[in-house]
Chain A
Amino acid sequence: MLGGVFDSRNHAMQTLVRIFVGFTIGTLLGGSVELRAADAIDFSRDISPILSKKCFQCHGPDEGHRKGDLRLDKPDALDGPFADHDGYQAIVPGNLEKSDLWYRVTTDDEDDLMPPEKSNLAALTDNEKALIKQWIEEGGKYDTFWAFIPPARRDLPVVDSERWGQSAIDRFIMDRLIREGLTPNPRADRRTLIRRLSLDLTGLPPTREEIQAFLEDTSDTAYEDLVDRLLGSPRYGEHMAKYWLDLVRFADTNGLHHDHYRDMSPYREWVIRAFNENLGYDDFSSYQIAGDLYESPSTDQLVASGFNRLHLVIDVGTALPEESYTRNVMDRVTAFGTAFMGLSVQCASCHDHKFDPVTMKDFYQLFAFFNNFDGEPETGGRNGLDFKRGLQKPYIELPSPQQSAQLEAYDQEIQSVESKIKDREETLAQAAEKTEQANEDGKPKKQTDPDIETWKKELDRLKKERDEVQMAVPAALVMKEREEIRPAYMLKRGNYDQLGDVVQRDTPGFLPPMKSGAEHKTRRDLARWVVDPSNPLTARVAVNRFWQQCFGIGLVKTSEDFGAQGERPSHAGLLDYLAMQFIESGWDIKQLMRTIVLSETYRQSSVITPGKRAKDPENRLLARGARFRMDSEMIRDHVLMVSGLLNLEIGGKSVKPPQPAKLWEIVAMPYSYPRVYEPDQGKKAYRRSVYTFWKRALPPPQMSIFDAPTREACIARRERTNTPLQALLMMNEPEYFRAAAATARQLLSRNGLSDQERIQVAYESITSRQPGSRTTETLKQALDGFRQLYAQDNESASTLIAHYVGDGVEDVQVGELAAWTMLTHSLFNLDIVKTRQ
């Protein structure tokens, strides 16, 4: 039967108000989709957010700032909501009149009203009051916060919808759509689908040939086959890695003070490979948290443990080392909390968390796991090969076999020259001794030996050459424990020099306990705890981020915060279902991605009708396909790919595609290394953007203008803005314009095509769509306009060609090529090109 909502509820009278509240507020505020009419109160969904937002600042978990000896976060506490407070009780189940809380939030007495004026919190809204009222009337029951109890296996919703998909995803989505009175969009057309899939799974658009093949594939499995092909592409790992690198704040500089160079590229390479080889998310996480603590750790495990080295580092001589050390540990714990737990644990570094049950003790117990780093807290001086290579101990060398052989050869040569010198010096010394005896004035004559001079020069040359080889050898910063465990303390107000009680390594008390019984628990134990199926957060947090990649917004919108202040899931049942499936599949990321993109939910057209937009502006209910602006990397890679300039080499050190001059100099210090941006030339300038050199003090503008983060902090979701600076970038970035010229040149090199045919090829290459006759006509007219322009202004045409094409263009072709460049460049500037739909 239809799972309609109104036929199964009995609170008709009571909930009249709430129906009104639910629909108007819920839809208009967009973000509040979890508010729903006509259900019984769900504490997590309806009440907990209100208490958290309006009460916990003074009546929450933070003991230090608690007022009036009342806490509302813990029902069974001695000073809790049901305790007697001088004859008052905050909540008397079922009795509104006697519940002091109700009086406090509704009274007109300014002295009694909560939250008080001076808290700067707004009074409860009417719908919040309506919810509180109903909650108290229904008995004022508390539940454990939804994200802190393990996902429950739930029955799939029964939906009568043979018209639509029967996958679990589709049933959960449809169940809600029916209740909200919405119907899904039809499937998107095949061109849209292959473009969407290619962008979501590889970050690159499909080629015309790939589109053609998909259109012609009439088999039932055409779509699945396409998905599998894309999941198998090496481009998949590069694309997936991009999101992860934001999350762990991967960058090529230290981020503080001089903002010197740091080479973490082997870590990036490992992340890409892990995604491509579909390493389970459990191992993927464990290697990063504690790869160094495996028994005889593999190279991959050690490289992955570099996760713990991605924090900002200050250079020596400015801050106090103890302070830097503490700061690093905090940064590490923060990253761990955001990436694996989806919680802002760092809030508890100075005081108990205001909103989540994370106590200071919880924080410093986690801190203790990361407090035993065996290395310097600050970067060393600016001398030596390590500094030039962007390395800081501990690290491991990762030479290729060829590099190993070269280095060994140099070592042997160096050794042999050194011993020659040593032998000769000894011989000379003996000779000198004899001469000395014979010498009456007692002063040894300084002997010079031409051979030694030559050998020493040779030695210098060999060492220099060896250094050059060494410079090119990849090396990975790794995590390493000190032999003796460094004690950890609570730090008062988070200050490094104000030690409180000693704390032992442990996980937060409100989450399932660790299984390890060892006296000294290790990061390895912590990693096991993270990926234990009973951990309520790990799988949910991960699944939500992968979902976010495919729909532009997570089931939990605040993908960085699953705590009380984060948003509730739009589809809690679906999130739990996917999380459990994920764990049961062996944390199989590709399978999860496959499941998501095979759903009918994913395959819907993204066309927006005014009605659907009004009802669900943010598309949280998914009655239509997602449409959102692509990330900066995808935009750049798209332009390069279409123009044939993209260099698809995998891995290696970061590269420096051209950027406007002097950007670094204006922020760098005189001895910052590097200080001057020296753009790479040739093919290196056209690598995928995931390999672009990331200076934290000033990230590449092509990326940051399109909302890429600075990589100073862990970011689980990027902003998606639409600004004039982005428009300028698309209009004028020289490399993007060069790509347009390259595209135009390819078009013109196809012999025997009419204007219309060329327009069709260009339009299809850039948008993956076919231009209708109206579009073709519009483009044809514009082309003629550009031709006219350059016919009248031949000099501009020559200037354009000289700058963006170079030599080898016949004079008669100059105006034509300029006109076509303008045409293709116009296409690059279309909204549908920077948008995945």
Chain B
Amino acid sequence: MNPLNPLSSLHPVHQLETLQTRRRFLKFSAMGLGAAVFGSMPVKGSGLTTVRGTHFTPKAKRVIFLFMAGAPSQLDLFDYKPDLHKQFNQPLPKSVSMGQRVTAMTKGRDQIVAPSMFSFSPRGRNGVYMSELLPHLSNVVDDLCIIKSTHTDAINHDPAKTMFCTGSQIPGKASMGSWLSYGLGSMNKNLPDFMVLNSAFWTGGTGNVQALYSRLWGSGFLPSKHQGVSLQPEGDPVLFLSNPNGVNREGRRKMLDLVTQLNQQHLEELGDPEIQTTIAQQEMAFRMQASVPELTDLSGEPDHILDLYGPEVKKSGSFARNCLLARRMIERDVRFVQLFHRGWDHHVGLPKKIRGQAFDVDQPCAALISDLKNRGLLDETLIVFGGEFGRTTFGQGNIQRDNYGRDHHPRCFTTWMAGGGIKGGMTYGQTDDFSYNIVENPVHVNDFNATVLNQLGIDHQKLTFPFLGLEQRLTGVTGAKVVKDIIA
């Protein structure tokens, strides 16, 4: 349907090249250069900047993005600052905060340091420090590459989530999964390329919960067939999947046979190949009516697998169940699966709330890693984990040793990657003693996204789409870079 399929024009261009080459040859001959030079001339592409398909051999085929909406505190989960307790209730030195912008909530307020109340211990073969809140992930730390120096541009949830998911704070751009669907195409004829799983509930922070927007998995300017298909926790998992009441599969088949027969007649009469597409998509819809229920039917999962993901896996709409569904999607070659888990926006009462959130995600994330590993799928599946920004070292609300809140902090936060050709058992990047500024190896969210594309064999600068006068790309125009140091 996209008329701009560069591949379809290769043939005549090639012919032209031959013609043009002959002329160049004459020119070079005249200049005294031999045919040897001409023979080694690189053959350039079709003239369009966009190159779909992989640009080099990919390390990974699929991605699972575990999006922690609301922004988890890096200070309480990953970014261990052993000496920070000495600063308890002390003002954050101006030399650290440097007058950097804050949100409307803490503007003009004192910035008082609130150290994490949670203990950390070295784990895995390299002694990576992990919070006590993440016992299960600590067990698989040798598979994790923990990036402590992620940073972003936006300080509020909505623009920051839009930034991470689409590469721009301004709504209207294409999301990562839709870029992959557009760039790499489908590996599965019965399921969409890009599927989204939103948690229907979460344990910590049920009060102040941030909104999601369909733009986070939207296709923006790309054709909408590339947009994420959001699986619903209740009712039809894919919208309008079930037959109407009183219509069974046999009736549906009969109906489609009739429709196809008539569509065929109209195709003969009108000659529009789009009718052929309609027929094909109706058949795909029919297949999805079988493949999606098969995908979401967990009755064949043995107990030891269910146990691996933890007790919540039994509840529809839980993060644990969505992790298990993600694994099933990966097995069925869905290209990109994105989970959104909300409830991380802990301005007050952080310790209590983050315990609940960690309970939600710790075991399922670890289970997902080991489950995929046991099936030999982790090597070619990249799992990434992160929120839209981090949280401040200074507290919000009444600051006590065991009770405090934290405001938004875009200047540094922690994300991790696992599998998909990424080194395990390491941390990357460093923040200062307050986890306020990055002191080593900053990774902008665009760099993060460029790295994800890189693992899939895509040069992020070459996957582009012309819109509003620009060759749009996921990673923006300011020059993102792949984080090479973490690639295995």
**Residues in chain A within 8 A of chain B (CB atoms):** 17, 20-21, 24-25, 28-31, 106, 108, 120-129, 255-259, 312, 314, 317-321, 344, 347, 354-356, 497, 560-561, 563-566, 606-610, 613, 617-618, 627, 629, 660-663, 666-670, 672, 696-699, 701, 704-705, 707, 710, 712-713, 719, 721-729, 731-734, 737, 774-775, 778-779, 782, 785-786, 789, 793, 796-804, 818, 822-823, 825-826, 829-832, 834-835, 837
> Which of B30-48 touch A at CB < 8 Å?
37, 41, 44-48
Min distance, Cβ A269 to any Cβ of chain B, angstroms: 26
B239 touches A660 (CB 8 A): yes
State whether the Cβ of B26 lies closer than 8 Å to any Cβ in chain A. Answer: no
Partner of B49, one of A120, A704, A723, A728: A120
Please, which residues of chain B bring their CB within 8 A of the CB of A699?
214
The segment from B122-130, B138-146, B249-257, B325-333 that touches chain A is: B249-257
Task: Determine whether the beta carbon of A701 is less than 8 Å from that of B239.
Answer: yes
Indicate with 1 or 0, residue by residue over B5-22, a CB within 8 angstroms of chain A CB atoms: 000110011011101100
Interface contact A608-B271, CB-CB below 8 Å: yes
**Top-9 shortest CB links A-B:** A800-B246, A565-B469, A125-B47, A727-B285, A713-B172, A712-B171, A799-B246, A24-B12, A608-B271
With most chain A CB atoms within 10 A of its CB, the pick from B105, B192, B213 is B213
What are the residues of chain A within 8 A of B13 when measuring CB–CB? 25, 125-126
A698 touches B213 (CB 8 A): yes
- Interface pick from B60-68, B113-121, B221-229, B293-301: B221-229
Given contacts A719-B224, A796-B246, contact A775 B265 (CB under 8 A): yes
On whether the beta carbons of B239 and A786 are closer than 8 Å, the reply is no
Supposing A606-B270, A712-B171 touch, asked if A829 and B468 sit within 8 A by C-beta, the answer is no
Closest to B464 in A: A120
Interface string of B226-239 (1 = CB under 8 A from A): 00011011111011
Q: Across the two chains, which residue of chain A brings its CB closest to B33?
A: A108
Of B172, B192, B198, B259, most buried by chain A (CB within 10 Å of CB) is: B259
Q: Is A20 in contact with B277, judged by CB distance below 8 angstroms?
A: no
Closest residue of chain B to A106 (Cβ to Cβ) is B24
Kindly state whether residue B103 has any CB partner on chain A within 8 Å. yes
Q: A719-B223, A727-B284 are in contact. Are A818 and B211 (CB under 8 A)?
A: no
Binding site for A on B (CB under 8 A): 1, 3-4, 8-9, 12-13, 15-17, 19-20, 24, 37, 41, 44-49, 101, 103-105, 107, 155-158, 170-172, 192, 198, 200, 206-215, 218, 223-225, 229-230, 232-236, 238-248, 250-252, 254-255, 257-259, 261-263, 265-267, 269-275, 277-279, 281-282, 284-285, 288-289, 461-462, 466, 468-470
Provide the residues of chain B in CB contact with A321, threshold 8 Å.
104
Other-chain contact of B211, A347, A667, A712, A800 (Cβ < 8 Å) = A667
B16 partner, pick from A29, A127, A802, beta carbons under 8 A? A127
Nearest-neighbour CB distance to chain A for B243, whole angstroms, equals: 6
Cβ–Cβ contact B261 & A724, under 8 A? no
Q: Are B255 and A822 in contact (CB under 8 A)?
A: yes
B130 to chain A, nearest CB (A): 31
B382 to chain A, nearest CB (A): 24
Given that A127-B16, A354-B470 are known contacts, is A829 also in contact with B254, CB under 8 Å in the complex?
no
Q: Are A729 and B240 in contact (CB under 8 A)?
A: yes
Residues in A whose Cβ lies below 8 Å from that of B3: 29-31, 617-618
Q: When the two chains form the complex, which single residue of A123, A124, A627 contacts B270, counting CB atoms closer than 8 Å?
A: A627
Taking CB atoms, residues of chain A closer than 8 Å to B469 are 344, 347, 354-356, 561, 563-566
**C-alpha gap A178/B260 in the complex (Å):** 38
Q: Which A residues touch B246, using CB under 8 A?
A: 796-804, 818
Task: Tell me, rounded to whole Å, the shortest Cβ–Cβ distance linking A340 to chain B.
Answer: 16
In the complex, besides A608-B271, A723-B225, 19 extra interface pairs with C-beta distance below 8 angstroms are A25-B12, A256-B158, A257-B158, A257-B211, A320-B101, A344-B469, A660-B235, A661-B235, A670-B208, A697-B213, A710-B171, A731-B243, A731-B285, A732-B244, A779-B262, A785-B258, A800-B244, A822-B247, A831-B266
Determine if A724 and B288 form an interchain contact, defined as CB atoms under 8 angstroms apart. Answer: yes
B255 touches A826 (CB 8 A): yes
List of B residues within 8 angstroms of A822 by Cβ: 247, 251, 254-255
- A516 to B269 Cα, complex, angstroms: 59
Q: Find chain A residues with CB under 8 A from B259 CB.
A: 826, 829-830
Q: Considering the chains assembled together, what is the distance between the CA atoms of A663 and B231 in angstroms?
A: 11
Determine the chain B residues whose CB is within 8 A of the CB of A607 once the complex forms: 269-271
